Amino acid sequence: AQSVTQLDSQVPVFEEAPVELRCNYSSSVSVYLFWYVQYPNQGLQLLLKYLSGSTLVKGINGFEAEFNKSQTSFHLRKPSVHISDTAEYFCAVTSNYGQNFVFGPGTRLSVLP
Amino acid sequence: DTGVSQDPRHKITKRGQNVTFRCDPISEHNRLYWYRQTLGQGPEFLTYFQNEAQLEKSRLLSDRFSAERPKGSFSTLEIQRTEQGDSAMYLCASSLIQDGYTFGSGTRLTVV
């Protein structure tokens, strides 16, 4: 079974500052990793995914994440955030691509003017 | 295609009533998933279909819950004898095998 930990439930950051949202996972088998963003009263939108290959993955809206197998982490980063990035961010893992995902509890990113 | 559609967007019901939600996936997607999300939590897996076959059900899916996907197209999720603990956002997602999820906007259920 897999599990996902997102250590920070809330991250406040000023506009144009860099941000890192942390994600750690636990699995006994190889995994595929994803980050989703959820705006208020909306469904989840895929930001980026790691399936194989380069451990640095670039996604939409200027986000990127790095897969670190030894540390079982997949932290999400953005060098300069905007007010519009204010949302809930979820890290997810699956061991069989296309099967059900296990989601972390989410990190609420609040970008302050 | 406009993505995954869910209907209704919001549902308020009295405890003990039955409710049914509908999900229309992206037409070429053969997999359809139902998740439940409570306030401040990540989505929790309920069940999924490949075409019309229901392949997996979570233990969260009690006997009061039933899901169908007739003809492998749209899906319905029914909750019988609703309880206050059923209040949540119910999310539907679809995918092709070897592709990522596309989520709908969800149905927010409030049981009063």
Q: What is the mean pLDDT of chain B?
A: 91
Q: What are phi and psi of A82, to 5 degrees?
A: -120, 160
Question: Do B5 and B94 meet the contact criterion of CB atoms below 8 Å apart?
Answer: no
Give pLDDT, residue B60.
81
Q: Which of residues 47-106 of B touch A (CB under 8 A)?
A: 48, 56, 58, 91, 93, 95-106
Within 8 A by CB and 6+ apart from B101, the residues are A44, A46, A101, B33, B93, B94, B95
Of B40, B91, B97, the CB nearest to A43: B91
CB of B4 within 8 Å of any CB in chain A?
yes
Distance of CA A85 to the CA centre of its chain: 13
Tokens of A103: 């989601």
Give the pLDDT band (50/70/90) at residue B99. Answer: low
Give the C-alpha separation, B51 to B32, whole Å: 8
Of A41, A97, A103, the CB nearest to B43: A103
Give pLDDT, residue B1.
52
Torsion sign over Cα B101, B68, B45, A102? negative
Give pLDDT, residue A1.
78
Cα distance from N-terminal residue to C-terminal residue, chain B: 36
Give pLDDT, residue A35.
95
Residue A98 has pLDDT above 80, yes or no: no
Give pLDDT, residue A101.
86
Domains plus CATH for chain A? Answer: 3-112 (2.60.40.10)
Helix (H, G, I), strand (E, B) or coil at A85: helix
pLDDT in tens, B23-66: 999 988 889 999 999 988 899 999 999 889 988 888 888 899 99
Q: What is the mean pLDDT of chain A?
A: 92
Whether A34 sits inside 8 A of B100 (CB atoms) is: yes
Of A36, A98, A104, the CB nearest to B97: A98
pLDDT in tens, A14-66: 999 999 999 999 987 888 899 999 998 788 999 999 988 899 999 999 999 99
CB of B33 within 8 Å of any CB in chain A?
yes
Give pLDDT, residue A100.
78
